Amino acid sequence: MSAPGAKGPRITVYTQTNSKGALKVCDGPEYSLAFTGFDDKIVSVDVKRGIWVLYEDVNFGGNIYVVWEGQKINLPMKTTSSLKPIEGDFSDNPSLTVYNGPSFTGKNKTFNSSNSNLVATEFQDSITSVFVDSGTWVAYRDVDYQGPQYLFTRGAFNGTSSEGPFQNDKISSLRPITRCGC
């Protein structure tokens, strides 16, 4: 999706909807947007390259919102205080296993694609551990990919996530990030 010869992550953030208003181009981490006058003022983004995590607090803290290459969207939140690009695994065969017991115990289920409502799987609001075999996954507190987000990259997560304040028993939908978007 990136332009030929383009390198590294890039996002343009705007102070108004539909990519209008004051803008700032970011090619790397921004620990505190207060220094640039964009703290809590970002309303829309245009992601040119990479996966970006937008944080509610400075120094990459608080709730997160994940955006990825090709997205040109208005944000549901207006509280971004820091942001950074992350490395992602854009696997053609994403795989994530969830467990309803601590430390990867109890009932488990493996997902290889998006699921907008975990009710039918009997795992809605009961996930306490996550193992990502491949891919980069975004989990959501609410069904239909709504609410606070948690980011999971390859690895094992017991009551934690790669980014975002993951809370046990609070995942209701999830999806992998793919080369062509979620």
- Domain count within the chain: 2
Q: According to the model, what pLDDT value does residue 120 have?
A: 86
In the predicted structure, residue 91 carries a pLDDT above the cut 70: yes
Question: Please, what is the average pLDDT of the chain?
Answer: 89
- pLDDT value at position 4? 56
- Give the domain extent around 54: 10-85
pLDDT digits 0-9 by tens, 21-61 = 999 999 999 999 999 999 999 999 999 999 999 999 999 99
Q: What is the mean pLDDT of residues 167-176?
A: 85
Closest CA to 32 of 56, 63, 50, 10: 56
Examine the domain organization and report whether 101 and 78 are in the same domain.
no
Note whether 44 and 73 are within 8 A (CB). Answer: yes
Whether the predicted pLDDT of 164 surpasses 70:
no
| CA gap 178, 182 in Å, rounded | 6
Whether residue 3 is contained in a domain is answered as no
Closest CA to 100 of 76, 119, 123: 123
**Cα–Cα distance, 32 to 50 (Å, whole number):** 20
Q: What is the mean pLDDT of residues 84-101?
A: 89
Does a structural domain hold residue 5? Answer: no
Above pLDDT 90, what percent of the chain?
A: 67
pLDDT score recorded for residue 130: 93
Last residue of a domain, one of 51, 85, 119: 85
pLDDT (average), residues 16-21: 97
Write the pLDDT tens digit of every residue in 104-154.
999 999 999 999 999 889 888 889 899 999 999 999 999 999 988 999 999
Pull the structure tokens for residue 55.
């944080």
**Which residue among 85, 113, 140 closes a domain?**
85
Q: What is the pLDDT, as a whole number, of residue 126?
A: 86
